Structure 1
Amino acid sequence: MAKFIYPFQRILELKERETETAQYEVAKALERENKSQERLDALYNKIEEAQNELKEEQKHGMTADDLKIRMNFIIQLQKQLTFEQYELNSAKQNVNRKRDLLTDRVKEEKTWTMLKDKKREEHLFAENLAEQNVLDEMATTRFFRTVTAR
Protein backbone atom coordinates (compact mmCIF):
# COMPACT_ATOMS: atom_id res chain seq x y z
CA MET A 1 0.00 0.00 0.00
CA ALA A 2 1.44 3.36 -1.04
CA LYS A 3 1.77 6.12 1.51
CA PHE A 4 -0.62 9.04 1.06
CA ILE A 5 1.21 12.24 0.21
CA TYR A 6 -0.88 15.40 0.11
CA PRO A 7 0.54 17.67 -2.60
CA PHE A 8 -0.74 20.83 -0.91
CA GLN A 9 0.53 20.02 2.60
CA ARG A 10 2.67 23.17 2.75
CA ILE A 11 -0.32 25.31 1.88
CA LEU A 12 -2.35 23.61 4.60
CA GLU A 13 0.43 24.21 7.12
CA LEU A 14 0.58 27.87 6.06
CA LYS A 15 -3.18 28.18 6.57
CA GLU A 16 -2.85 26.59 10.01
CA ARG A 17 -0.14 29.11 10.98
CA GLU A 18 -2.27 31.97 9.66
CA THR A 19 -5.16 30.75 11.81
CA GLU A 20 -2.92 30.57 14.88
CA THR A 21 -1.64 34.09 14.19
CA ALA A 22 -5.19 35.39 13.80
CA GLN A 23 -6.16 33.75 17.11
CA TYR A 24 -3.23 35.46 18.79
CA GLU A 25 -4.22 38.81 17.26
CA VAL A 26 -7.80 38.41 18.51
CA ALA A 27 -6.50 37.66 22.00
CA LYS A 28 -4.28 40.76 21.93
CA ALA A 29 -7.13 42.93 20.65
CA LEU A 30 -9.41 41.63 23.40
CA GLU A 31 -6.73 42.37 25.96
CA ARG A 32 -6.44 45.93 24.65
CA GLU A 33 -10.22 46.31 24.77
CA ASN A 34 -10.37 45.03 28.37
CA LYS A 35 -7.62 47.39 29.50
CA SER A 36 -9.38 50.29 27.83
CA GLN A 37 -12.63 49.34 29.57
CA GLU A 38 -10.82 49.18 32.91
CA ARG A 39 -9.35 52.67 32.38
CA LEU A 40 -12.79 53.96 31.43
CA ASP A 41 -14.37 52.45 34.54
CA ALA A 42 -11.62 53.95 36.70
CA LEU A 43 -12.26 57.37 35.18
CA TYR A 44 -16.00 57.08 35.86
CA ASN A 45 -15.21 56.26 39.47
CA LYS A 46 -12.70 59.10 39.74
CA ILE A 47 -15.21 61.60 38.32
CA GLU A 48 -17.93 60.41 40.66
CA GLU A 49 -15.54 60.62 43.61
CA ALA A 50 -14.44 64.15 42.64
CA GLN A 51 -18.06 65.28 42.26
CA ASN A 52 -18.97 63.85 45.66
CA GLU A 53 -15.98 65.56 47.27
CA LEU A 54 -17.00 68.83 45.63
CA LYS A 55 -20.55 68.53 47.01
CA GLU A 56 -19.22 67.79 50.49
CA GLU A 57 -16.86 70.75 50.42
CA GLN A 58 -19.62 73.02 49.13
CA LYS A 59 -21.76 72.07 52.13
CA HIS A 60 -18.99 73.20 54.47
CA GLY A 61 -18.14 76.26 52.41
CA MET A 62 -15.23 76.83 50.10
CA THR A 63 -13.51 79.69 48.34
CA ALA A 64 -14.14 80.58 44.72
CA ASP A 65 -10.56 79.61 43.84
CA ASP A 66 -11.00 76.17 45.40
CA LEU A 67 -14.29 75.76 43.54
CA LYS A 68 -12.63 76.74 40.27
CA ILE A 69 -9.74 74.32 40.85
CA ARG A 70 -12.15 71.47 41.62
CA MET A 71 -14.33 72.24 38.59
CA ASN A 72 -11.29 72.39 36.29
CA PHE A 73 -10.16 69.03 37.66
CA ILE A 74 -13.57 67.49 36.93
CA ILE A 75 -13.62 69.02 33.45
CA GLN A 76 -10.15 67.58 32.78
CA LEU A 77 -11.34 64.14 33.94
CA GLN A 78 -14.35 64.40 31.62
CA LYS A 79 -12.05 65.21 28.69
CA GLN A 80 -9.99 62.14 29.55
CA LEU A 81 -13.24 60.18 29.72
CA THR A 82 -14.21 61.30 26.22
CA PHE A 83 -10.80 60.27 24.90
CA GLU A 84 -10.99 56.91 26.68
CA GLN A 85 -14.46 56.29 25.22
CA TYR A 86 -13.01 56.91 21.77
CA GLU A 87 -10.17 54.49 22.56
CA LEU A 88 -12.63 51.85 23.74
CA ASN A 89 -14.70 52.19 20.57
CA SER A 90 -11.54 51.92 18.51
CA ALA A 91 -10.50 48.82 20.45
CA LYS A 92 -13.94 47.24 19.91
CA GLN A 93 -13.75 47.91 16.18
CA ASN A 94 -10.28 46.37 16.12
CA VAL A 95 -11.59 43.27 17.91
CA ASN A 96 -14.37 42.95 15.34
CA ARG A 97 -11.89 43.27 12.45
CA LYS A 98 -9.59 40.68 14.00
CA ARG A 99 -12.51 38.30 14.61
CA ASP A 100 -13.62 38.68 11.00
CA LEU A 101 -10.07 37.95 9.87
CA LEU A 102 -9.96 34.91 12.15
CA THR A 103 -13.25 33.67 10.71
CA ASP A 104 -11.83 33.98 7.21
CA ARG A 105 -8.63 32.18 8.20
CA VAL A 106 -10.58 29.34 9.84
CA LYS A 107 -12.71 28.95 6.70
CA GLU A 108 -9.61 28.82 4.50
CA GLU A 109 -7.93 26.27 6.75
CA LYS A 110 -11.09 24.16 6.85
CA THR A 111 -11.34 24.25 3.06
CA TRP A 112 -7.77 22.98 2.64
CA THR A 113 -8.28 20.37 5.38
CA MET A 114 -11.47 19.12 3.73
CA LEU A 115 -9.62 18.91 0.41
CA LYS A 116 -6.88 16.87 2.10
CA ASP A 117 -9.48 14.53 3.62
CA LYS A 118 -11.16 14.14 0.24
CA LYS A 119 -7.84 13.39 -1.47
CA ARG A 120 -6.99 10.86 1.26
CA GLU A 121 -10.34 9.13 0.74
CA GLU A 122 -9.77 9.06 -3.03
CA HIS A 123 -6.31 7.62 -2.43
CA LEU A 124 -7.69 4.91 -0.14
CA PHE A 125 -10.46 4.11 -2.61
CA ALA A 126 -7.93 3.79 -5.45
CA GLU A 127 -5.69 1.61 -3.25
CA ASN A 128 -8.62 -0.64 -2.30
CA LEU A 129 -9.75 -0.85 -5.90
CA ALA A 130 -6.26 -1.82 -7.06
CA GLU A 131 -6.03 -4.41 -4.28
CA GLN A 132 -9.44 -5.78 -5.21
CA ASN A 133 -8.39 -6.02 -8.88
CA VAL A 134 -5.29 -7.98 -7.89
CA LEU A 135 -7.39 -10.32 -5.75
CA ASP A 136 -9.92 -10.73 -8.56
CA GLU A 137 -7.12 -11.52 -11.00
CA MET A 138 -5.70 -14.10 -8.61
CA ALA A 139 -9.12 -15.68 -8.11
CA THR A 140 -9.72 -15.77 -11.86
CA THR A 141 -6.33 -17.34 -12.49
CA ARG A 142 -6.91 -19.94 -9.79
CA PHE A 143 -10.36 -20.70 -11.18
CA PHE A 144 -8.98 -21.26 -14.69
CA ARG A 145 -6.22 -23.50 -13.32
CA THR A 146 -8.70 -25.65 -11.49
CA VAL A 147 -11.02 -25.82 -14.51
CA THR A 148 -8.22 -26.67 -16.96
CA ALA A 149 -6.70 -29.19 -14.55
CA ARG A 150 -9.84 -31.33 -14.64
Structure 2
Amino acid sequence: MARYHYPYQKIVDLKKSEKTQAEWMLSTALGKLQSEEQKLDQLLLDRAAWQEKLHNASMQIVTLSELTLLQSYLDHIDECIAKKYNDVHTAKSEVELEQSRLSVKMKDEKVWLKAKEQAFHRFSHTMQLKEQNELDEMATARYMIPAQ
Protein backbone atom coordinates (compact mmCIF):
# COMPACT_ATOMS: atom_id res chain seq x y z
CA MET A 1 0.00 0.00 0.00
CA ALA A 2 1.29 3.46 -0.89
CA ARG A 3 2.25 5.80 1.91
CA TYR A 4 -0.12 8.68 2.59
CA HIS A 5 1.18 12.25 2.41
CA TYR A 6 -1.22 15.08 3.28
CA PRO A 7 -0.47 18.02 0.97
CA TYR A 8 -1.54 20.62 3.56
CA GLN A 9 0.42 19.18 6.51
CA LYS A 10 2.38 22.40 6.97
CA ILE A 11 -0.87 24.29 7.46
CA VAL A 12 -2.00 21.72 10.03
CA ASP A 13 1.34 22.12 11.83
CA LEU A 14 0.99 25.91 11.70
CA LYS A 15 -2.51 25.75 13.20
CA LYS A 16 -1.23 23.51 15.98
CA SER A 17 1.60 25.94 16.64
CA GLU A 18 -0.83 28.88 16.74
CA LYS A 19 -3.01 27.01 19.23
CA THR A 20 0.01 26.27 21.42
CA GLN A 21 1.03 29.92 21.31
CA ALA A 22 -2.51 30.97 22.28
CA GLU A 23 -2.35 28.55 25.22
CA TRP A 24 0.90 30.17 26.36
CA MET A 25 -0.61 33.64 26.04
CA LEU A 26 -3.61 32.56 28.12
CA SER A 27 -1.28 31.06 30.71
CA THR A 28 0.66 34.32 30.88
CA ALA A 29 -2.54 36.34 31.25
CA LEU A 30 -3.75 34.04 34.02
CA GLY A 31 -0.42 34.41 35.81
CA LYS A 32 -0.65 38.18 35.59
CA LEU A 33 -4.22 38.12 36.91
CA GLN A 34 -3.20 35.94 39.82
CA SER A 35 -0.28 38.26 40.59
CA GLU A 36 -2.50 41.35 40.52
CA GLU A 37 -5.06 39.67 42.79
CA GLN A 38 -2.32 38.72 45.27
CA LYS A 39 -1.03 42.30 45.30
CA LEU A 40 -4.57 43.55 45.89
CA ASP A 41 -5.05 41.10 48.76
CA GLN A 42 -1.76 42.29 50.29
CA LEU A 43 -2.84 45.92 50.00
CA LEU A 44 -6.14 45.11 51.69
CA LEU A 45 -4.28 43.37 54.53
CA ASP A 46 -1.92 46.35 54.85
CA ARG A 47 -4.88 48.70 54.98
CA ALA A 48 -6.52 46.68 57.73
CA ALA A 49 -3.26 46.69 59.72
CA TRP A 50 -2.80 50.45 59.33
CA GLN A 51 -6.46 51.04 60.16
CA GLU A 52 -5.88 49.11 63.40
CA LYS A 53 -2.78 51.21 64.12
CA LEU A 54 -4.79 54.39 63.59
CA HIS A 55 -7.54 53.12 65.85
CA ASN A 56 -5.03 52.18 68.59
CA ALA A 57 -3.27 55.52 68.24
CA SER A 58 -6.55 57.39 68.62
CA MET A 59 -7.15 55.56 71.90
CA GLN A 60 -3.80 56.67 73.27
CA ILE A 61 -2.32 60.07 73.83
CA VAL A 62 -0.52 60.96 70.57
CA THR A 63 0.11 64.16 68.75
CA LEU A 64 -2.24 65.38 66.10
CA SER A 65 0.56 65.26 63.53
CA GLU A 66 1.02 61.52 64.15
CA LEU A 67 -2.70 60.92 63.65
CA THR A 68 -2.62 63.03 60.48
CA LEU A 69 0.39 61.07 59.23
CA LEU A 70 -1.38 57.74 59.84
CA GLN A 71 -4.51 59.01 58.09
CA SER A 72 -2.45 60.27 55.14
CA TYR A 73 -0.82 56.88 54.77
CA LEU A 74 -4.24 55.20 54.90
CA ASP A 75 -5.44 57.55 52.15
CA HIS A 76 -2.38 56.60 50.09
CA ILE A 77 -3.13 52.88 50.57
CA ASP A 78 -6.74 53.54 49.52
CA GLU A 79 -5.48 55.15 46.30
CA CYS A 80 -3.21 52.15 45.68
CA ILE A 81 -6.13 49.80 46.27
CA ALA A 82 -8.29 51.71 43.77
CA LYS A 83 -5.50 51.50 41.17
CA LYS A 84 -5.03 47.81 41.90
CA TYR A 85 -8.74 47.16 41.38
CA ASN A 86 -8.34 48.73 37.94
CA ASP A 87 -5.28 46.55 37.29
CA VAL A 88 -7.24 43.43 38.31
CA HIS A 89 -10.11 44.44 36.02
CA THR A 90 -7.68 44.97 33.14
CA ALA A 91 -6.04 41.60 33.81
CA LYS A 92 -9.47 39.89 33.83
CA SER A 93 -10.28 41.51 30.48
CA GLU A 94 -6.96 40.27 29.12
CA VAL A 95 -7.74 36.72 30.30
CA GLU A 96 -11.16 36.84 28.61
CA LEU A 97 -9.56 38.10 25.39
CA GLU A 98 -6.94 35.33 25.44
CA GLN A 99 -9.62 32.72 26.17
CA SER A 100 -11.59 33.83 23.12
CA ARG A 101 -8.42 33.81 20.97
CA LEU A 102 -7.60 30.31 22.16
CA SER A 103 -11.13 29.18 21.38
CA VAL A 104 -10.81 30.49 17.82
CA LYS A 105 -7.41 28.82 17.38
CA MET A 106 -8.74 25.51 18.71
CA LYS A 107 -11.68 25.60 16.29
CA ASP A 108 -9.37 26.46 13.40
CA GLU A 109 -7.03 23.60 14.25
CA LYS A 110 -9.96 21.21 14.58
CA VAL A 111 -11.24 22.17 11.12
CA TRP A 112 -7.86 21.43 9.54
CA LEU A 113 -7.45 18.16 11.44
CA LYS A 114 -10.92 17.09 10.31
CA ALA A 115 -10.01 17.94 6.70
CA LYS A 116 -6.81 15.90 7.05
CA GLU A 117 -8.75 12.98 8.48
CA GLN A 118 -11.29 13.10 5.66
CA ALA A 119 -8.53 13.23 3.06
CA PHE A 120 -6.89 10.20 4.67
CA HIS A 121 -10.18 8.31 4.59
CA ARG A 122 -10.60 9.13 0.89
CA PHE A 123 -7.04 7.97 0.25
CA SER A 124 -7.61 4.74 2.19
CA HIS A 125 -10.83 4.06 0.33
CA THR A 126 -9.13 4.65 -3.03
CA MET A 127 -6.26 2.35 -2.07
CA GLN A 128 -8.69 -0.35 -0.96
CA LEU A 129 -10.53 -0.10 -4.28
CA LYS A 130 -7.24 -0.38 -6.21
CA GLU A 131 -6.18 -3.35 -4.12
CA GLN A 132 -9.54 -5.04 -4.62
CA ASN A 133 -9.34 -4.46 -8.40
CA GLU A 134 -5.86 -5.98 -8.49
CA LEU A 135 -7.07 -9.01 -6.53
CA ASP A 136 -10.05 -9.35 -8.87
CA GLU A 137 -7.73 -9.21 -11.90
CA MET A 138 -5.49 -11.85 -10.37
CA ALA A 139 -8.45 -14.08 -9.63
CA THR A 140 -9.78 -13.61 -13.16
CA ALA A 141 -6.37 -14.39 -14.67
CA ARG A 142 -6.07 -17.58 -12.58
CA TYR A 143 -9.55 -18.61 -13.55
CA MET A 144 -8.87 -18.00 -17.26
CA ILE A 145 -5.52 -19.88 -17.40
CA PRO A 146 -6.90 -23.39 -16.66
CA ALA A 147 -9.74 -22.86 -19.15
CA GLN A 148 -7.31 -22.79 -22.05
Unaligned runs of 5+ in 2: none
| Paired position in structure 2 for 1:66 | 66
Aligned residues: 148
| Paired position in structure 1 for 2:87 | 87
The superposition leaves residues 91-147 of structure 1 with CA deviations (integer Å, 9 ceiling, x where unpaired) of 00100100110111011111111111111111111101100001011111222223x
The superposition leaves residues 49-103 of structure 1 with CA deviations (integer Å, 9 ceiling, x where unpaired) of 0000111111112221111111110000000000000000000010010011011
CA distance in 1 between partners of 2:61 and 2:15 (Å)? 68
CA distance in 1 between partners of 2:73 and 2:66 (Å)? 11
Read off the aligned partner of 1:25 and give its amino acid letter.
Answer: M
| Paired position in structure 2 for 1:2 | 2
| Paired position in structure 2 for 1:103 | 103
CA distance in 2 between partners of 1:38 and 1:62 (Å)? 34
Read off the aligned partner of 2:19 and give its amino acid letter.
Answer: T
Q: SS state of the match for residue 6, structure 2?
A: coil
Give the TM-score of the pair, scaled to structure 2.
0.97
Read off the aligned partner of 1:15 and give its amino acid letter.
Answer: K
Percent of pairs with identical residues: 26
Read off the aligned partner of 2:112 and give its amino acid letter.
Answer: W
Give the TM-score of the pair, scaled to structure 1.
0.95
Read off the aligned partner of 1:83 and give its amino acid letter.
Answer: K
CA distance in 2 between partners of 1:7 and 1:59 (Å)? 81
CA distance in 2 between partners of 1:61 and 1:51 (Å)? 17
Q: SS state of the match for residue 111, structure 1?
A: helix
